[in-house]
């Protein structure tokens, strides 16, 4: 969804999508940092070296498969809110 619906933001560097495999050494470090041990969805903002974490895991599991339009809408809203 990010690369398709928000391609312009990805292209100009304002948005980055990162998928992480927690079975790799790099992924293990990231999972430890975020304190997760299962699939998770975070939409984060970095400004002046500070990270603002937004855990959208519950929202994702509730909507991604059975209510994709609500999932896409909610994810886009959060991304646009953080880009302001």
What DSSP assignment string belongs to the chain?
-HHHHTHHHHHTTS-------TTSHHHHHHHHHHT-SS---B--EEETTEEE--B-HHHHHHHTTT-HHHHHHHHHHHHHHHH-
43-70, pLDDT tens digit by residue?
A: 999 999 999 999 999 999 999 999 999 9
pTM summary value? 0.81
18-37, pLDDT tens digit by residue?
A: 899 999 999 999 999 999 98
Domain spans in the chain, listed from the N-terminal domain onward: 2-83
Q: How confident is the model at residue 3 (pLDDT cuts 50, 70, 90)?
A: confident
């Amino acid at each position: 969804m990010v690369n398709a619906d928000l391609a312009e933001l990805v292209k100009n560097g304002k948005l980055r999508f990162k998928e992480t495999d927690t079975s790799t050494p790099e992924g293990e470090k990231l999972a430890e940092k975020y304190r997760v041990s299962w699939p998770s969805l975070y939409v984060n903002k970095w400004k002046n070296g500070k990270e603002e974490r937004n855990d959208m895991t519950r929202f994702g599991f509730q909507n991604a498969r059975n209510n994709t339009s609500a999932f896409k809408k909610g994810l886009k809203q959060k991304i646009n809110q953080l880009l302001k």
